[in-house]
Amino acid sequence: MNGAGVIVQAIAREGVDTVFGYPGGAIMPLYDALIDAPFRHVLTRHEQAAALAADAYARARGDVGVCLATSGPGATNLITGIANAYLDSVPLVSITGQVGTSVMGTDAFQEVDVFGLTLPVVKHSFLPQNGEQLTYALEQAFDIAREGRPGPVVIDVPKDVMLAEAPPLRAKQQPQPEQRMDSQYIADANEYLKSCRRPLIYAGGGVAMANAIDAFRDFVARTQIPVVTTLKGIGNLASDHALCLGMLGMHGLRSANLAVQECDLLIVIGARFDDRATGKLAEFAPKAKVIHCDVDPAELGKLRAPTVSLCGSLAQTLNALRLDTINPHWSKRCLKRRQQLTDKGYPRTTDIYAPRLLNALSGALDKDVPVTCDVGQHQMWVAQHMVFHHPKFHLSSGGLGTMGFGLPAAIGTAFANPGKPVVCVTGDGSLMMNIQELTTIAREKLPIKILLFDNSSLGLVRQWQELFFDKRFSQIDLSDNPDFANLARAFGLPAMSFHLAAHEPQIIEAITQSGGPLFVHVHINPHTKVWPLVPPGKPNHEMMEGASR
């Protein structure tokens, strides 16, 4: 069998049922082999979308995603998607075609150094020079992408290597023994838990990545410690759970940020002290001792020196941590603040108010409907105002903050959950970054409901320019947007437009009742802001709060 055939076999045996890609010269042998592949290939209309769809497919399934592209521009187009997976620790295998080995290094047609270009954003990469090396790379790549802290792997395959004979894949080795916890310091951690008065859990995306959701929920139930989450940790505990204080950080909830500043013990679980979460690091959780639990030793002490670091299996670690009784005054204070926010409700407006609409939509959707979003104000409103019951239902580009993620992510998520509806919340700036994918949605008849919040501007940038650059608005005006509803129709999607708050119930009904793809264009007021906001360089308790707009 030739190398291309072995690639197909490797993908199939990993249980991947859908790959995303775009053909071209150097990868033609693989596209030929794909005709007989036992899995589906989805032709996106841009390689960036292929990588982002595969990333979301991986997140939604909890396993590896695969994307394919040709050499040169095909491969460079993938890079944003690979970097997105890298910064959010998503297992992704990208296979790129490369020019033949005989011309490599000669600046041949569509030759770029894919290995070098992707080096900083991969967990590992391969450039096999012959069939044996290709088979070896395929045997390794999927396990590397999955194990420990997941991440992307690139295999850059010269065209002649795809055409040459390659040895068959060897039987898969036993899966790596499960990661162990670091038991050395558990007793210390338990001592701190015993002596603290105001403990708080700060949980990130690592919890779900480590398949530790059950252990995490059990730990919270046992200890009754209140929880704040990062953007990627949303859903570790249902957002409406009594102990969930919400997301912390720059656009975090008041209840979450104040709890962090007041706690005397911070139990950090699968989170990494990202600057969006901590604000001014030197003033983050100033009174707290820190117990930091993570699978990645490089995260421990990277930004904040922990009092106790626990490296290794999160589930085992959480099962070994103990707290018999929690100070009731502390939890009461935390939970009261959270309740006050819920009680505050939403302002009345005549135009559509995105946070209110998202909150109501969330209540109307089944609990297991995945929501993808793009990047900007709407992304923060999704995080703040929708209720999530598991991180795999909230697909957001956290680390890289990639505008253009939402639409391809919805495609990847739809293939990971066949037949299930997917909601994609996007902005008028972000949508245009991968709008060509409306065609993919129409072609594949995917039940994706696109909810576009159109504020005729790059809203989040506009907000910052208004607040921190003396209202000197620079290049944020999108008032010449196309007629989005008509554009969606031109792509073959049913579409509708709304302006008024009175239409909010209609919007929710349209989204929840539609069986197939749907495009809902919602005009919102460009002055609406995301609150609260921790200004750059400020500690998290110095939140700016505004009226609704």
Partner 1 sequence: MNMTLNLSTNNGYGALERILAVVRYRGYQLLNVQADSSDTKNMAVAMTVSHPSGNEHLLHHLRKLRDVQSAEMKAAPPIRIKEAS
Ligand X SMILES: Cc1ncc(C[n+]2csc(CCOP(=O)(O)OP(=O)(O)O)c2C)c(N)n1
Binding site for ligand X (CB under 6 A): 374-378, 401-404, 427-430, 433, 453, 455, 458-461
Tell me which of 44, 80, 96, 125 binds partner 1, using CB under 8 A.
125
For residue 371, report the phi and psi dihedrals to the nearest 5 degrees.
-125, 125
Which amino acid does the sequence have at 333?
Answer: R
* Min separation Cβ 426 and ligand X, Å: 7
Find the angle CA(252)-CA(254)-CA(255) to the nearest 5 degrees. 105
| Residue 116 found at the interface with partner 1 (CB under 8 A) | yes
* Min separation Cβ 204 and partner 1, Å: 18
Partner whose binding site includes residue 5, from ligand X, partner 1, none (CB under 5 to 8 Å by kind): none
Partner whose binding site includes residue 120, from ligand X, partner 1, none (CB under 5 to 8 Å by kind): partner 1
| Residue 167 found at the interface with partner 1 (CB under 8 A) | no
Q: Take residue 108 and report the two structure tokens written for it.
A: 């041949």
> What three-state secondary structure class fits 213?
helix
Tell me which of 6, 51, 144, 395 binds partner 1, using CB under 8 A.
144
Which amino acid does the sequence have at 153?
Answer: V
Which amino acid does the sequence have at 43?
Answer: L
| Residue 126 found at the interface with partner 1 (CB under 8 A) | yes
Chain centroid to CA 190: how far?
A: 32
| Residue 124 found at the interface with partner 1 (CB under 8 A) | yes
Which amino acid does the sequence have at 30?
Answer: L
Tell me which of 38, 105, 286, 301 binds partner 1, using CB under 8 A.
301
| Residue 417 found at the interface with partner 1 (CB under 8 A) | no
Peptide bond into 532 cis (omega under 30): yes
Q: In terms of CB distance, is 14 or 294 closer to partner 1?
A: 294
Q: In terms of CB distance, is 128 or 152 closer to ligand X?
A: 152
Partner whose binding site includes residue 144, from partner 1, ligand X, none (CB under 5 to 8 Å by kind): partner 1
Applying CB under 8 A, the span of 75-83, 112-120, 258-266, 285-293 interacting with partner 1 comes to 112-120
Chain centroid to CA 10: how far?
A: 26
Q: In terms of CB distance, is 114 or 334 closer to partner 1?
A: 114
Burial class of 490 by CB neighbour count within 10 A (0 to 12, 13 to 18, 19+): middle
Whether 369 and 448 have beta carbons less than 8 Å apart is answered as no
Partner whose binding site includes residue 546, from ligand X, partner 1, none (CB under 5 to 8 Å by kind): none
Q: Which residue has the tokens 């994609």?
A: 424
* Min separation Cβ 430 and ligand X, Å: 3
Tell me which of 194, 197, 302, 332 binds partner 1, using CB under 8 A.
302
| Residue 120 found at the interface with partner 1 (CB under 8 A) | yes
Q: Which residues pair with 448 in a beta bridge?
A: 422
Separation between Cα atoms, residue 149 and residue 125, nearest integer Å = 16
* Min separation Cβ 217 and ligand X, Å: 32
| Residue 139 found at the interface with partner 1 (CB under 8 A) | no
* Min separation Cβ 303 and partner 1, Å: 10
| Residue 296 found at the interface with partner 1 (CB under 8 A) | yes
Name the strand (E) or helix (H) holding 508.
helix 504-513
* Min separation Cβ 302 and partner 1, Å: 6
Q: In terms of CB distance, is 116 or 536 closer to partner 1?
A: 116
Q: Take residue 137 and report the two structure tokens written for it.
A: 């790379």
* Min separation Cβ 136 and partner 1, Å: 11
Which amino acid does the sequence have at 352?
Answer: I
DSSP string across 342-406: HHH-----SB--HHHHHHHHHHHS-TT--EEE-SSHHHHHHHHHS--SSGGGEE---SS--TT-H
Name the strand (E) or helix (H) holding 413.
helix 406-416
Applying CB under 8 A, the span of 123-131, 335-343, 430-438, 507-515 interacting with partner 1 comes to 123-131
* Min separation Cβ 231 and ligand X, Å: 13
Partner whose binding site includes residue 302, from ligand X, partner 1, none (CB under 5 to 8 Å by kind): partner 1
Sheet holding 422-427, edge to edge: 394-395, 371-373, 422-427, 448-454, 518-523, 495-498
Applying CB under 8 A, the span of 171-179, 228-236, 296-304, 535-543 interacting with partner 1 comes to 296-304
Whether 529 and 463 have beta carbons less than 8 Å apart is answered as yes
* CB-based contacts of 305, cutoff 8 Å, min separation 6: 290
| Residue 101 found at the interface with partner 1 (CB under 8 A) | no
Interface map 56-95 toward partner 1 (x if CB under 8 A):
----------------------------------------
Whether 458 and 429 have beta carbons less than 8 Å apart is answered as yes
Partner whose binding site includes residue 124, from partner 1, ligand X, none (CB under 5 to 8 Å by kind): partner 1
Q: Select from 464, 333, 487, 483 the least CA-distant residue to 407.
A: 487
Partner whose binding site includes residue 374, from partner 1, ligand X, none (CB under 5 to 8 Å by kind): ligand X
| Residue 105 found at the interface with partner 1 (CB under 8 A) | no
* CB-based contacts of 399, cutoff 8 Å, min separation 6: 84, 86, 87, 88, 274
Q: Which of residues 311-350 bind partner 1 (CB under 8 A)?
A: none
| Residue 298 found at the interface with partner 1 (CB under 8 A) | yes
Which residues here bind partner 1, judged by CB under 8 A?
A: 115-116, 119-120, 123-127, 144, 296-298, 300-302
